[in-house]
Structure formats: C-alpha cells, structure tokens
Amino acid sequence: MVRALTLVGMVWASATVSAAPDADDYRRSLGLREAWSGLTRDVAFPAQWRGDGHFYYRHTVEGGFAFVLGSPDSAQLQPAFDAARLAQGLSAASGQDVAPLRLPFSQFAYVAEGDNPNGAIRFSLDSTYATWRCTLTDYLCALVTRAGRPRGFGVVRDLRVPADNAPRRSPDGQWEAYAEGFNVVLRHVADGKVTPLTRDGRGDAFYDPETLAWSPDSRHIALYRVTPGFPRLVTRVESAPAGQLQPVLQTQLYPKPGDAVDIEQPVLFDVAGNRKPIDTPLVSNPYSLSPIQWRSDSSSFSMEYVARGFQTVRVVAVDAGTGKAHAAVEEKADTFVYADRTFLHDVGGQGRELLWISERDGWRHLYLIDGTDGSVRQQITQGDWVVRDVLHVDDTQRRIWFSASGMDAGQDPYQRQLFSVNFDGRNLTRLTHAPADHDVAISPDGRYYIDVYSRPDMPPVASLHRIDGTPVRELARGDISRLLAAGWKAPESFVAKGRDGRTDIWGMVVRPGDYDPKRRYPVVENIYAGPHDAFVPKTFWPFGYHSGGDKQIGMQALADLGFIVVQIDGMGTAHRSKAFHDVAWKNLGDSGFPDRIAWHKALAAKDRSYDISGGVGIYGASAGGQSTLGALELHPELYTVGVAMAGCFDNRMDKISWNEQWMGWPVDARYARASGVTHAAKLRGDLLLVVGEQDSNVDPASTAQVVDALIKAGKDFDLLNVPGGEHSVGRSTGPIDYVTRRQFDFFVRHLMRAPTPRWNAEKKGQP
C-alpha cells in the first residue's frame, strides 16, 4: 500500500490510499503463522517433568513441532511418544485430520495406564479446550469425562447428575464410607456391618460423598454437608446442528453474580460412629471451600475458605479430637484477595508452620505463618517487587525456590527470574540473570531445573541446571535465521507514564513487514484488560499469534495489511503492586483506558508514523470484547472503530466466579455502571459485534442485550452471529478463519477508509 503524506500545520496526516489491500495481500497476511512456524528450529516451549525424573518439552523441527524426552543423566534425547501413531489415534477418535508434526496441543501430562505410571498421556486441544487421553501402547484416544457430579463454575452442584458414590476405603483397608440417600454410612469390611453416621440428611441439606476424606490413621472421617444453591440454567438454541435440519435446545448450569451458591459446612466423625461438633463461624459465609486436607499426623484437617465477596480468605484448621476450629491463616483486604493465586504449603505436614503468599504490605510476598494461631513468624521476602510462583519447597533445608519479577530497575517489570531463599528470609540468591523472561520447571526430587528463557525479540534458550544454579548442559537454542531471512521483525516494547504521570505502562508495538517510517499508519489496539493476569507477551512470539485464555487475532497478520497494532497492560491488571491491581476493584469498566490513552499519545508524539489523528481501532474477545465496546461508548474521542467478540458486556449476565472476584458481592449499582448495555446510547464510531451461538463461557444473551439497547437507541452497528460457535468464535470454517477475515475487513473499511476485496466473487468467499 502506498500513501502520500501531507504536512498540515505541525501534524503529519495520511492522504488518499492509493492501493487498498487486495486478496493476495490477505492471503500473505493470513498465511504468516503457517509460513513462520516452518522457518524456525529448536524453538523450545516450557519444559515439564515426569515423576520418575525425566523431562520433556516441545520444540520446532522441519515441518512443524516434535516432543522430546530426556534425563539429567544423559545427553541423549528421544521422542516423547510415537507421534505418527498418536496422530492416527487422535484422528480416528476425533474425526479430524491430525498430522504427526502438527499435533493440536503444546503441553501434556504423562498418566498411568495399568501398572505403567507413564503409559498414557493427557492433554487439552488448543482449539476446543476439550481434554483427551491417549494410551502409549495401542494409541487409543478418548475424551476425558469427569466422574461424579459436575458443578457450575465450581460453586453449584448439578443435582440432575448422580454423585460419585463409590465407597471410600480407609487407609488401613478396614472401613468403607459412602452415601445412602442423603446420609452417609460406615461399613466394616471384615464383617459387612453397616453403621449410619448421619440420619438428618435431606434434599436441602445432604452429605456429599464426593467430599469425604479419611484421616491417615483411619480413625476419622471428614466431609461436607451441603445446602444447595440456585440451579440457574442458561438455555441456548443450536440453530444449525450438524447432521440434522431441526434446531436443538441446549441447557447449561450457569450461576451468575448474586446467585445463591452451595453452602458447604464441615462435619467430623470417628469410626465408632460419634459425630464431633465443629464450630463453624469461621466458614459461615462461604463462596467456596477447598477439598479437605488431613495433616500427616491425623491430629487435624484444614480447608481454605473464600468468603463471599473475596475480601476474606482463611485457612481453617479443625482439631480431630475436639472439633475445635481456628484460623491458621487469615487474609483480609478492603478491595479483594486474589483467591485464585493464593499459595499454601504446610511445612512438615502437621500444620504448625505454613508458607503463605500475601499482598498485605502492598506487594506480593512470602510469609512464614504460625499455624497454631495465625500470627506471622517471618516475612520472608520484601521490597517493591512481586513473587510470581513458588516452584519448590525443601522442608529439610528450610529453603524455597520461586520466580519473581520487578527487581531490576529500568528493565521490564514483568520478566520472571528464579530465586531461592531460606525460611527466615536470609540468603536470598538469584539463580537466573539474562534480561529475559525465565520459565523454570524444577524436578520432583528438587535436584535439577530446566530454564527456558526468551523475549519477544530473542528466541528461547533451554538449559538444564542443578538446583544451586550450576549449569549442566544446554538443551536447545532457537535458530531463527530463516525466519529473519524471510523478513520477520521482532515486535517492539514501548514504555510511557500512566494516568498518574509516574507509573510506567508497558506495551508492545507490531509494525507492518514493509514498514516505512516516512509513511503514516492507522493504529489498532488488541485489548484484554482482565485483572487476573497481564497480557502483553514477554516471551518469544514467532508465529504471528498470541494465545491467551481466549483465541486472539494475529497482530502481525493485521499489521501487514497496513496498520500498526499494539497491546498494552494498563492499571488494573496483575503482576505489579497491589495499588496498581486495585484499580480494577468494582471498576471493570475502567479497563485501564486512562493509561492506554496516555500511552497512545506518548507514542504518537515520539513517532510520526503512528497516526492516531483519525482515531484508534480496537478489538478484543471475552473481557476484551467488553472493553472494546466500552472504548467506543466512553472514550470516543480516541477510539473510533471496534470489533467486540464474545463479550461479557454486562457483568451481571456473566459467570459468577470471575465477576464476583472483581466486581464484588452483593451485586450493587457498580455492576450497572460498568455495563455496555447501560451506556449503549453513548456509542459513537463503527462497531462489529461477534458472538458464538453456543458460547458456554459467556452467556450469548449478553451480546443480544447490547444489540437490543443499540437498536432502541437508534445506533448503527454490525452483528455476526456464528451458528454453533463457541466462546472461541474465531474457529476455522474454511481455508482461513472466517471471523478473522471479517474483522480485518472491518478495520480496512472503517479505519483505513479503503475498499476490501469482493469476497463473494472469490472462490468460497475466501482469500
């Protein structure tokens, strides 16, 4: 594409587009992922360990990808399995063509098959997230189904499905416990004598056999008594089901914010049939309780309690002899405790000392807690940086290995480095040093680790180390020479101050392959602002796509049509300070836009090719779809064109878990203030809504309600409803992804102001 440039005043502006992208441009652009993935060698993915001390990982090879298996004791690598037979077995079971060097997963786990602890593998498909299991002897593959009763987003049991009532045998083999109706009974294995443990179970307060846990000494049983929550069902019409003409009705158990959840309360019995009353005020208002965990000496059991509203999390311990409960750990916040990222390690397994992660000082750090009274014995780490993940704990050495980020002044604060430290906070040791993101996997025995480190502009290096950091050998070093020869250019980082004028906001810039700094390019932002993570890639990113929780569109593919495409982590996202994160609290409509707008303006002031004079385009899926709509409604001075896919546009319509964590409970007026439906009449600019008819993650009625509000407000917009489409509405429906092409078309027409090819004249309407 060629643009003439004119200087108007002191602002460079693009003139008429002389060459709009044609079908060949689309073909090249949308073929990048396939082309690039074949041009690299030994680009390693994060490593994993088997229980027997072998490691394995995926890497690029001629023709695609291969999985290799190795051992610290040998420099030889071997195939992790027979890829040809696995592809054949998965093809037969799934009905989809699977190629041996294009297996549709990047990680897997070895699982037992018969007497062989590594006789099968288990994995989730990249496209559908369905879990499969394949044996490694006859290579038979099957979908994995969960035994027992499913729960809607983990908090409401589906009482239409029977519970898994297989007898739970005691560790000493003398007893079995199981449910009879709504009650629980104990059977003596030797003589078959059955003793009822409860008689007061009923439909609205039953004893759940799936939660039953034996003490290690076989003297006690603990389980939950359940008061069922509200069984909300979302109903969807599948309008074009495969293999038949008539539509099909689909239903899904789908709790939403404010709905009553299952109330679980612990109960305790001994094998003589005696019930020991438990004080329950410490777990009186549960959003959730974790599975019961017995201490190794059988003296007590514990459970992690998340209070409704996510402002209190406790580890509650119950004495087996008395039933007395106490808070072994208590975490409170005025905003939220990030319950999905808590960490608990019971030192020695007896509940006397606990390792815990807390943000109580404003940063995410490790603490040693006295498990008998919940007091802090030692803050282990401290400083203006964050502990990301605990990777290994050695109780004997009293030492912890963990990843952390933000310790290096002037460097990317999201890059992870590996450290170790004593329980008393002494001897903090840095084990990785390269200025990159380090993805570390530690062996089960704690003797070795594999470090795969990279940046978006640097291919991965995988190396094996002893646990003290001593290098053993390099495993793989990515070769991207052919990729560079083909014209690939690394994305760029850009840092600007946020809304407060002080905080650094980090983003990524992707330019067209034929970028000319003398030209002007319209700008498109790829947005996902969910508070549960940060989203700008920090690792090598060779194939033109960035996969997060939801399928993202290829930023490079879009850029190559004549755009500059960016991604930004604004305030409200994770892995920075607690204050940075708290911006999202009851404020998801913010989406970090004040920071994003400041970032765009800062880059435009520095780079004259970065043209935001005609507005910025924006696209996103799921929570990114919500943010996209919010951009056009609340910030039309900058954002003028948007593609919102599978959006949770009103948090009251979405799943309970994610939304109550960030928007709070009870449901209040702030939910409405964050709703794209509420602000529909404020829409300016051009909007394309995309929704999958069978979205099981976000109720598709959320999109329909936006459509209804826009119609009532007299607004023009485009809508693409994909029959049978799931949450990943961009699934391939032809030679390319149809939804991707429609999205690209939308930006070419409305942001570039250029015509698109006449697709209906093309074969099958595709590039």
Residues paired with residue 184 on neighbouring β-strands, in sequence order: 179
For residue 320, pLDDT over 90 is answered with yes
Name the CA radius of gyration of the chain, rounded. Answer: 28
pTM reported for the whole predicted model: 0.94
Looking at every residue in the chain, the average pLDDT score rounds to 93
Q: How far are the Cα atoms of 47, 259, 570 from residue 344, in angstroms, in the given order?
A: 24, 29, 29
Q: What angle do CA 585, 569, 364 make, to 5 degrees?
A: 60
* 365 or 764, higher pLDDT: 365
| pLDDT above 70 as % of the chain | 94
Cis, bond preceding 723 (omega within 30 deg of 0): no
DSSP strand pairing (131-135 vs 521-526): unpaired
User: Which pLDDT score is estimated for 361?
Assistant: 97
Which pLDDT band holds residue 764 (cuts at 50, 70, 90)? low
Rounded Cα distance, 737 and 719, in Å: 17
Tokens read off for 717: 């917009």
Q: What is the strand order of the sheet 610-621 is part of?
A: 492-497, 504-510, 564-569, 521-526, 610-621, 639-645, 686-692, 718-722
User: Which pLDDT score is estimated for 551?
Assistant: 35
* 476 or 762, higher pLDDT: 476
User: Which pLDDT score is estimated for 765?
Assistant: 63
| Residue 489 per-residue DSSP state | -
Decide: 684 and 655 in contact? Cβ < 8 Å: no
Which pLDDT band holds residue 10 (cuts at 50, 70, 90)? very low
Decide: 743 and 688 in contact? Cβ < 8 Å: yes
Which pLDDT band holds residue 147 (cuts at 50, 70, 90)? confident
Q: How far are the Cα atoms of 35, 60, 414, 551, 697 from residue 543, in angstroms, in the given order?
A: 8, 11, 21, 14, 27
Query: What's the whole-number mean pLDDT along residues 362-389?
Result: 98
Report the SS3 class of residue 461.
Answer: strand
Distance of CA 164 to the CA centre of its chain: 28
Report the SS3 class of residue 116.
Answer: strand
The total number of residues shown for the chain amounts to: 767
Decide: 600 and 637 in contact? Cβ < 8 Å: no
For residue 5, pLDDT over 90 is answered with no
Report the SS3 class of residue 752.
Answer: coil
> Could you report how far apart the first and last alpha carbons of the chain are, in Å?
18
DSSP string of 239-300, one letter each residue? SS-TT-SS-EEEEEE---TTPPPPEEEEEEEETTS-EE----GGGSSEEEEPPPEE-TTSSE
Q: What angle do CA 163, 169, 173 make, to 5 degrees?
A: 170
Q: What angle do CA 58, 59, 65 make, to 5 degrees?
A: 90
**Residues contacting 630, CB < 8 A, separation 6+:** 589, 591, 593, 674, 676, 679
Query: What's the whole-number mean pLDDT along residues 169-181?
Result: 98
Decide: 523 and 564 in contact? Cβ < 8 Å: yes
Query: What's the whole-number mean pLDDT along residues 483-493?
Result: 93
What superfamily in CATH does domain 3-11+20-38+491-762 come from? Answer: Alpha/Beta hydrolase fold, catalytic domain (3.40.50.1820)
Decide: 296 and 345 in contact? Cβ < 8 Å: no
* 730 or 12, higher pLDDT: 730
Q: What is the pLDDT of residues 41-96, one digit of tens each?
A: 999 999 999 999 999 999 999 988 999 999 999 999 999 999 999 999 999 999 99
User: Which pLDDT score is estimated for 127?
Assistant: 64
User: Which pLDDT score is estimated for 547?
Assistant: 41
Question: Which parts of 445-537 are beta strand (E)?
Answer: 448-455, 458-466, 471-477, 492-497, 504-510, 521-526
Q: What is the pLDDT of residues 532-571, one digit of tens each?
A: 999 999 999 777 543 432 333 489 999 999 999 999 999 9
All CATH 3.40.50.1820 domain ranges of the chain, comma separated, are 3-11+20-38+491-762
Decide: 276 and 270 in contact? Cβ < 8 Å: yes
